[in-house]
Chain A
Amino acid sequence: MVKNPFFNLFGGMTQWLYQRFSAVMLYVFTVYLFFYWVRVDTVDFNLWISFFDSISHRLIITFLFLVTFFHGWIGVQHVVEDYIKNPILNQMVYLILLLSMIIQIIFLCLFLLGI
């Protein structure tokens, strides 16, 4: 078994529990956002920008993305561990996914600050 060199978050039991807590959080957010936007007929730029104008909406969305990364990182670690046996390939996949998350988190910070 190839261990993830980057962050091996917690032990198995904690991961199991956190995965379910984050799942429930994402569930609530997704359903809320779905029912918020499904009532809208056409989304134009002004409506779109006014939704993200409020800092609370930006905070919620940023938090939603961060929880998604947390949940996704735990999940994808298990999949990679199960199916990619070659140690070099395995570490490269982790590195690529980690870099992708870091870049996205930078974009999210800019989004949150409204820059």
Chain B
Amino acid sequence: MANRPKNLNLFTIRFPFPAMVSILHRVSGVVLFVLMPLLTISLYWSLKSESLFLGILEFFDYTIFKIIRTLMIWGIIHHLIAGTRHILLDLHFGMDLIVARLTSKIVLIVSFVISGLIGVFLW
């Protein structure tokens, strides 16, 4: 068991749609975890005074932070929708290969569309 060959090299693996949903679930999770300090610390400082509050709003208006903001929105939405699919699979819903492939496409498209809409709306 211990010496079983493993291949986790992302550049040599071909990705079917369910695999893409799965890897993007991980990616979005890591992105959110790494960017959490931005949320925690700006939450804390935004309540200190009105000028700090406005300063933080201004800070999030820089193009780079607009991109980060949109990335986080995509992360949350993809993580939520892919997570719902994951829990449904755990409960044995949508286990057929055809259904699983279909739902994985739906997850990818819906999360991109919703986060795109929110991203454009908030830009």
The reply to whether chain A is a binding partner of chain B is: yes
Q: Which residues of A contact B (CB under 8 A)?
A: 20, 23-24, 27, 30, 45, 48-49, 52, 61, 65, 68-69, 72, 75-76, 79, 82-83, 97, 100, 103-104, 107-108, 110-111
Q: Are A103 and B8 touching (Cβ within 8 A)?
A: no
- Within 8 Å by CB of B41, from A52, A69, A75, A104, lies A104
- A83 and B36 contacting across the interface, CB-CB below 8 Å: no
A72-B32, A75-B29, A111-B43 given; A104·B37 CB < 8 A: yes
How far, in angstroms, from A69 to B37 measured CA to CA in the complex?
11
B99 to chain A, nearest CB (A): 21
* A76 contacts B87, C-beta separation under 8 Å: no
- Which size class do B's interface residues fall under? 20 to 34
Chain B residues contacting A30 (CB-CB under 8 Å) are 76, 80
Q: Are B83 and A27 in contact (CB under 8 A)?
A: yes
| A48 and B47 in contact, given A79-B26, A104-B41 (Cβ under 8 angstroms) | yes
Chain A residues with CB under 8 A of B76? 30
What does the 1/0 interface line of B91-116 toward A look like (CB < 8 Å)? 00000000000000000000000000
Known: A52-B47, A76-B30. 7 other contacts (CB 8 A): A23-B87, A45-B54, A76-B33, A79-B26, A100-B36, A107-B40, A107-B43
| B interface residues with partner A (beta carbon < 8 Å) | 8, 26, 29-30, 32-33, 36-37, 40-41, 43-44, 46-47, 50, 53-54, 76, 80, 83-84, 87, 90
Chain B residues, Cβ within 8 Å of A110: 44
What chain A residues lie within 8 Å of B37 (beta carbons)? 100, 103-104
- Please determine whether A104 and B54 come into contact, CB atoms closer than 8 angstroms: no
B47-A20 in contact (CB<8A): no
**Set B33, B54, B80, B87: member contacting A75, Cβ < 8 A:** B33
Q: Do A72 and B44 form a contact, CB below 8 Å, given A20-B87, A79-B26, A83-B8?
A: no
Q: How long is the Cα–Cα vector from A52 to B44 in the complex, in angstroms?
A: 11
Give 5 nearest A-B pairs by CB, closest first: A72-B33, A104-B40, A45-B50, A107-B44, A45-B53
Contact of B36 among A24, A27, A72, A75 (CB under 8 A): A72
Nearest Cβ on chain A to B18's Cβ, whole angstroms: 18
